């Protein structure tokens, strides 16, 4: 356990950031699972809505620093590619 005041503060700050990152990632996983379910069901209208939501959430996660910007872009690209392939 830390004894120095600044070290104690860093522990509190890291705990808050970890909680925020976990919350963002778990919400993102739920959105991606919903997208996968829509694609598997063949419901393209729902899949299109889920794709837009997934893109928004991925970019928000990148903006907050939870994901790297290029990681988010790569995931969006792959999701879009999957949607286009299923739609064709």
36-56 pLDDT per residue, tens: 999 999 999 999 999 999 999
Q: How confident is the model at residue 1 (pLDDT cuts 50, 70, 90)?
A: confident
**Structure token pair of residue 38:** 């829509």
Residue 69 predicted with pLDDT over 90: yes
Residue 88 predicted with pLDDT over 90: no
Rounded to 5°, angle at Cα 86 from 37 and 74: 80
């Amino acid at each position: 356990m830390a004894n120095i005041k600044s070290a104690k503060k860093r522990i509190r700050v890291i705990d808050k950031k970890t909680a925020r990152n976990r919350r963002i990632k778990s919400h993102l996983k739920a959105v991606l699972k919903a997208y996968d379910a829509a694609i598997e069901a063949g419901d393209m209208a729902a899949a299109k809505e889920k794709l837009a939501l997934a893109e928004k959430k991925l970019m928000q996660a990148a903006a907050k620093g939870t994901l790297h910007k290029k990681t988010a872009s790569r995931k969006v690209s792959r999701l879009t590619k999957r949607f286009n392939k299923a739609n064709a």
